Structure 1
Amino acid sequence: MSGTGVASIGECMLELSGAGEETWRMGFAGDTFNTLWAIRALTDQARATDYVSAFGDDTFSDRQIAFLRDHGIGIASSPVIPGARPGLYAITLDGAERSFTYWRSDAAARRLADDPDALAVSLEGRALVYFSGITLAILPEDARATLLAAIAAARRAGAKIAFDPNYRPRLWPSAEPARQAVAEALAVCDIALPTFPDEQALYGDLTLEESAERLRKAGVAEIAIKNGSEPALSVQAGATETIPAIRVANPVDTTGAGDSFNGAYLAARLAGDAPADAVRRAHRVAAAVVQVRGALAPVPVLREAFGAAVTAS
């Protein structure tokens, strides 16, 4: 790897979560941001960490960028677009299970690949670049191609590329363009971090092994397939290991659990852990995350579950 920094690409939205019968609490979240939040918490705090997106210039966007900065996360060369604004979603809970309502059709993040030169600069000097199927889904087809070209260039420069297909049917016109986009993403990635129910929904897979074999044939060298509270499957260099999850008797909120799994897994790999050991750490973190509310678990919760000291800046 030629660099040391970490970049995560996607959409950070305003998050509304219930704080009482008629009261809502605002935060900031989104799948690739939730993952970066965990990486930031669990890696050397001197490591350059950036969220690569596009931002508006309204008050909420200013607060969003300040929130990132206050937690040690930059925005690299991401554009700030006059007149644009962030997307918004609200979480409603039924027990620990959540559902989402979105307002994001004109979000600034949909323009994150409008400036190819700025995007390329944002991905320079990275040890790790992370993105997801949601990152792809929010972009027009030409912008998606621009993004994948920039990621491929970062990979050629020495970055490891990690990708979670994170299939969300409502973001795609049909399954076929989603499958095509995921195939193009897998062609430029080193680490795949899918969730098995998503693979079932997109491909009709019957087992984790079937998903892993398809990913292996796509050329992905390292695979960790999440499956909620069921065991995960770790695959690297032909070695396969099934690793039990940690069951939580009374989960509070499952929001962000899979994203935090991804962040912990990647933090462990950056620290030099073997893939199977990284899955074990990621399971511990995910189990801790479902016991707190919101997509972003407190940093002390993440660090305690991760089980390793983090170097302060």
Structure 2
Amino acid sequence: MSGTGVASIGECMLELSGAGEETWRMGFAGDTFNTLWAIRALSEEAQPTDYVSAFGDDPFSDRQIAFLRDHGIGIASSPVIPGARPGLYAITLDGAERSFTYWRSDAAARRLADDPDALAASLEERALIYFSGITLAILQEDDRGRLLAAVAAARRDGAKIAFDPNYRPRLWGSVDAARQAVAEALTHCDIALPTFPDEQALYGDVTLEESAERIRKAGVAEIVVKNGSEPVLSVWAGAVDTIDAVHVPNPVDTTGAGDSFNGAYLAARLAGDAPAEAVRRAHRVAAAVVQVRGALAPVAVLREAFGAALTAV
């Protein structure tokens, strides 16, 4: 990999989670931020780590940026847009399963690709760049094109590109628009981290192998098809492995589990682990995450699970 830094591109939102019947706790989360949180927690402290987005100039945006900074995450050349503000979502739980209510239609992050020069500067000298289908979905078509052009340029300069299609139907105007955007994104990727139920919803896939084969034909060399608490399918360098998840009898909250899996997998790959070993470590981290509430598990929890996996592979 060229460069030393990691960048994750997308939308960090205000998260409201229940702290009691009439009490809500505010935090910060979003799929690509959750993944970067895990990468930052599980990587060398000296590694530059940035969240690439767009931010408002309101007090909540200021708190967002301060939260990132306090946890060793910068914002690179991300624009701060006068009058803009972050998106918001609230989590409600039915047992351990969660549902979300969103307020994000005018969020600042939707303008993250407005300035191509700033976006390109944010992606310079990176070992790894990560983004998702949600990153694509929040952008207008022209901005989506600018983002993919910037990612492609960074890849030509030596960055590895990782992508989770992370299909959310309500964010897309049509299934065809989502398929077209995801297909184009995959042509710029080295690592794909899809979730099988998303692939089923978007393409009607019947097996994990079907999902992996379609992505392989798009030119992606390293593929990990996640499937919740079921085994993962790992495809890399001609090897195909099915790797069991870690069983958690009584999960507390599944929010962010797949994002944390992605972050742990990528951190392990950055550290030099082979893909199968990285999957095992990521499974351990995801199992730890579903045993705590909220999208961002405490750093100590992530590190303990990641380190415990090292002795098990």
What TM bracket, shorter-length normalisation? Answer: over 0.9
Correspondence 1:173-192 to 2 at 5 A: 173-192=173-192
Partner Cα distance (1:59, 1:307) in 2: 37
Residues 190-217 of structure 1 deviation map (CA, whole Å, 9 limit, x = unaligned): 0000000000000000000000100100
Residues 118-158 of structure 1 deviation map (CA, whole Å, 9 limit, x = unaligned): 00000001000000000000000000000000000000000
Aligned residue in 1 for 2:124: 124
Aligned residue in 2 for 1:207: 207
Letter in 2 for 1:229: S
Aligned residue in 2 for 1:294: 294
After TM superposition, the score normalised by the length of structure 2 is 0.98
| SS of alignment partner, residue 55 of structure 2 | coil
Aligned residue in 1 for 2:248: 248
Correspondence 1:78-157 to 2 at 5 A: 78-157=78-157
Aligned residue in 2 for 1:196: 196
Deviation at 1:2, TM superposition (A): 2.0
Letter in 2 for 1:292: V
Deviation at 1:308, TM superposition (A): 6.9
Aligned residue in 1 for 2:220: 220
Question: For this pair of structures, how many residues does the alignment match?
Answer: 310
Correspondence 1:40-51 to 2 at 5 A: 40-51=40-51
| SS of alignment partner, residue 45 of structure 1 | coil
Partner Cα distance (1:268, 1:36) in 2: 13
Aligned residue in 2 for 1:77: 77
Partner Cα distance (2:206, 2:282) in 1: 24
Aligned residue in 2 for 1:9: 9
Correspondence 1:55-74 to 2 at 5 A: 55-74=55-74
| SS of alignment partner, residue 2 of structure 1 | coil
Partner Cα distance (2:38, 2:9) in 1: 14
Structure 2 unaligned regions, length at least 5: none
Partner Cα distance (1:185, 1:111) in 2: 19
Residues 221-262 of structure 1 deviation map (CA, whole Å, 9 limit, x = unaligned): 000111000000000012100000011000000000000000
Correspondence 1:270-285 to 2 at 5 A: 270-285=270-285
After TM superposition, the score normalised by the length of structure 1 is 0.98
Residues 44-96 of structure 1 deviation map (CA, whole Å, 9 limit, x = unaligned): 01100000000000000000000000000000000000000000000000000
Partner Cα distance (2:98, 2:68) in 1: 25
CA RMSD of superposed structures (Å): 1.1
- The percent of aligned pairs where both chains have the same amino acid is 89
Deviation at 1:33, TM superposition (A): 0.0
Structure 1 unaligned regions, length at least 5: none
1:25/1:255 CA distance change after superposition, 3 Å: same
Aligned residue in 1 for 2:32: 32
Deviation at 1:114, TM superposition (A): 0.2
2:231 counterpart of 1:231: yes
Partner Cα distance (2:101, 2:249) in 1: 27
Letter in 2 for 1:192: A
Partner Cα distance (1:271, 1:195) in 2: 23
